[in-house]
Amino acid sequence: SSDVCSSDLWGAQTAVGWTDGDTVYTATFAHNGTQEEIAAEVASIAAGSGATDVAGNAENGDDSPSFIVDTLNPTPTVITSPATIYEGALTTTVTATYDEPMNPGTSPVITLTGGNWGAQTPVSWTSGNTIYTATFTHNGTQEEISAEVASIAAGSGATDVAGNAENGEIGRAHV
């Protein structure tokens, strides 16, 4: 059998073989990674491409239902508020806005550059699982911080609905 995907982004066919009394043929293709999103990929078998039944008749051609290829890593934008932390308000809110819907069962790990912040307290995913909000409370021991930065490391924990890990992002400095 000769299986072909509709784009030229696939490597050579790796035959897995025949099963179910020689009625099901399985082949594997590896995507080359150059096109990160394909909305409607199709695998096709051309009529007479090489498989025959026990009587010697060539197979008819057919196309698979379309399927999606998504290897694009989601990218967050990190924003902190308020811009100034002071003795009467030691909590900062960090908002990560992603460029595509995320898996709500996962969450990013947000870090702040200073060592005097408590643990990340997640608030929730909102806006179709594209915005993640977390809060941090400063312990008040360091009285002046010149530039605090919130960041998310690549692959810190959040994934999109296809399972791709997020890209990293470093937010703007705030005090």
Beta sheet of 62-63, edge-to-edge order = 3-5, 43-45, 62-63
Predicted local confidence at residue 5, as pLDDT: 56
Residues 6+ apart with CB under 8 A from 100: 72, 74, 130, 160, 161
d(CA 123, CA 160): 18
pLDDT higher than 50, residue 1: no
In this predicted model, what pLDDT tens digit does every residue of 80-127 receive, in sequence order? 998 777 788 889 999 999 999 999 999 999 999 887 888 888 788 999
Cis omega (within 30 of 0) for bond into 101: no
151 in Cβ contact with 170 (< 8 Å)? yes
Residues 6+ apart with CB under 8 A from 111: 150, 151, 152, 153
In this predicted model, what pLDDT tens digit does every residue of 11-33 receive, in sequence order? 777 878 889 988 888 888 888 87
What pTM was computed for the model? 0.75
CA distances from 167 to 2, 11, 30, 120, 123 (A): 37, 26, 23, 19, 21
d(CA 70, CA 124): 25
93 in Cβ contact with 134 (< 8 Å)? yes
Among 92, 83, 125, residue whose Cα is nearest residue 107: 125
Predicted local confidence at residue 44, as pLDDT: 86
Q: Which residue has the higher pLDDT, 12 or 75?
A: 75
In this predicted model, what pLDDT tens digit does every residue of 125-161 receive, in sequence order? 999 999 999 999 988 887 677 788 999 999 999 999 9
3-state secondary structure of 170: strand
Predicted local confidence at residue 7, as pLDDT: 60
